[in-house]
Amino acid sequence: MLPMNSDPYLDMRKEYVMKGIALYHPITIDRGRNALLYDVNNKEYIDFTSGIGVTTLGHSNPELIAVAEAQLKKLWHVCFMVMNYKSYIELAEKLAKIAPGSSQKQVLLQNTGSEAVENAIKIARQVTGRYYIVAYENSFHGRGTYGYALASTGKYEPYKKGLEPMMPGVEFVPYPYCYRCPFKYEYPQCGLACLDYLKKWFAFTRVSPDRISAFIMEMIQGEGGFVVAPTDYVKELKKFLEDNGILLIDDEVQSGWARTGKMWAIEHYGVEPDIMVTAKAIANGLPLSAVIGKKNIMEKTFPGSFGGTFGGNPVSCAVALKVIEIMLRDNMPERANTLGQIIRKRLNEMADKYELIGDVRGLGVMQAIELVKDRKTKEPATDEVSKVIVKAREKGLLLLRAGLYLNVIRLHPPLTIEEELLNKGLDILEESLKEVVKEVK
Ligand SMILES: Cc1ncc(COP(=O)(O)O)c(C=O)c1O
């Protein structure tokens, strides 16, 4: 037993773990059960983080534990480049079938979102023979590798700090972030000026479309602060890409697996990606990621130039198969909509009361509030976000921040959370906001 309210693991972390991994909540978690976490002092927290959108089916999900245990006893590892095994093949088939769009698909399994992004870009380049990648400002595609996931991430600090030069051949365009339109227009009166810029100005000044292999895009920017791209933007963009033989890589690492109210965020847009990457919630926390591409693209990849020792671990694959079964059986997209409506209503009510909330946005259960010091100037209220998050933690709610200015609070509860607990968490969020509003007055 630890002495009351002591946490030696935080000191040990300082001593033995490199500084480069930041720690947002200075607590040490001992165990979890569905939407609740308990620290080493047995303090209970409602988890609105889900390990950054990963434990979508809750902590210690008994059905997943049973599958993992059975697979652990049967087979841990053989390496998919050396020999075939069932769970990889079965998962590839399922993923190909549930992926968005009607084209036939093929699959590559890896371990992390960053790796999946690297491989999606490798595929796009190898198959098109074109050099450039276009990515979005305010995007995030991974810091776990030092290649194109990082190079195509559209935020400098902290991800790229001191790490230049980045991999060459990545160009950035503005994301349709309508609340902070870089052209200072209002949507939809803007007539999609940012897309117009991209098609005309960008193509003539930066890189000719016939040299671009792929655009990589999050339909909802995750780390960027749950910024949702407008439907007409995505539809028109896809047409422009098709007209120019450019592939669309849809990064669903954060937005996939029912969180937006559909299995994949891109299904809100009626557009089929050429290549999609997914990770995070795929195996509810066991390391696994996937690149799912149109068969006519994936078939053209060169044997031996893809793979890795661990990609598609048998235990992760078995759990992912169960995740898919549960998601379909329990209609998790519908559940995300039900929970999302509860959250959105509460956040809108909070926005009516507190000027500090400049924008409420999101899809499904992925809802966020952007805090500003002044609704007219939209000056980011970054410190206020930190204060709200600290207060919420003290009251037993774990939250995540996001956004270019870190002035966004994004909600990532598991889809299995009880509605009573969700409302309790939202009460804590509101109490914390109210206290911060009082303090800054
Ligand atoms: C949209 C997106 N892409 C890629 C990644 C990288 O995934 P990982 O941290 O598993 O490497 C993330 C991680 O947050 C992400 O949100």
pLDDT tops 90 at residue 440: no
Q: What's the pLDDT score for residue 6?
A: 87
The predicted-structure confidence for 46-65, as pLDDT tens digits, reads as follows: 999 999 999 999 999 999 99
Decide: helix, strand or coil at residue 430. Answer: helix
pLDDT tops 90 at residue 4: no
Residue 222 CB less than 6 A away from ligand 1: yes
The predicted-structure confidence for 79-111, as pLDDT tens digits, reads as follows: 999 999 999 999 999 999 999 999 999 999 999
Residue 286 CB less than 6 A away from ligand 1: no
Confidence class for position 441, pLDDT limits 50, 70, 90: confident
Helix axes 62-74, 314-329, angle to 10 degrees: 150
Residue 144 CB less than 6 A away from ligand 1: yes
What is the mean predicted confidence (pLDDT) over 110-126? 98
C-alpha 333 – ligand 1 centre gap (Å): 21
Decide: helix, strand or coil at residue 223. Answer: coil
In whole angstroms, what is the distance from residue 188 CA to residue 198 CA?
17
Q: What's the pLDDT score for residue 202?
A: 81
Q: What's the pLDDT score for residue 1?
A: 65
pLDDT tops 90 at residue 238: yes
Prediction pTM value: 0.97
Which two three-digit tokens encode residue 345? 């209503």
Q: Which residues lie below 8 Å from residue 135, measured CB to CB, with a gap of 6+?
A: 141, 151, 152, 153, 154, 170, 171, 172, 173, 215, 216, 217
C-alpha 66 – ligand 1 centre gap (Å): 27
C-alpha 244 – ligand 1 centre gap (Å): 28
Residue 166 CB less than 6 A away from ligand 1: no
CA distances from 282 to 59, 291, 352, 390, 397 (A): 14, 12, 36, 30, 25
Confidence class for position 11, pLDDT limits 50, 70, 90: very high
pLDDT tops 70 at residue 212: yes
pLDDT tops 90 at residue 3: no
Which two three-digit tokens encode residue 109? 């399994």
Give yes or no for a contact between 274 and 214, defined as CB atoms under 8 angstroms apart: yes
Q: Chain-wide mean pLDDT for the chain?
A: 97
The predicted-structure confidence for 254-309, as pLDDT tens digits, reads as follows: 999 999 999 999 999 999 999 999 999 999 999 999 999 999 999 999 999 999 99
Which two three-digit tokens encode residue 160? 């790229």
The DSSP symbol for 198 reads I
The single-letter code of the amino acid at 257 is W
Q: Is omega for the bond preceding 165 within 30 degrees of 0, making it cis?
A: yes
Percent of the chain scored above 90 by pLDDT? 96
Residue 414 CB less than 6 A away from ligand 1: no
The number of residues making up the chain comes to 441
Residue 136 CB less than 6 A away from ligand 1: no
Residue 253 CB less than 6 A away from ligand 1: yes
C-alpha 230 – ligand 1 centre gap (Å): 22
Residue 141 CB less than 6 A away from ligand 1: yes
Q: Which residues lie below 8 Å from residue 297, measured CB to CB, with a gap of 6+?
A: 123, 127, 247, 274, 275
Give yes or no for a contact between 297 and 303, defined as CB atoms under 8 angstroms apart: no
Neighbouring C-beta atoms of residue 344, cutoff 10 Å: 17
The predicted-structure confidence for 122-169, as pLDDT tens digits, reads as follows: 999 999 999 999 999 999 999 999 999 999 999 999 999 999 999 999
The DSSP symbol for 59 reads B
Confidence class for position 74, pLDDT limits 50, 70, 90: very high
What is the mean predicted confidence (pLDDT) over 308-331? 98
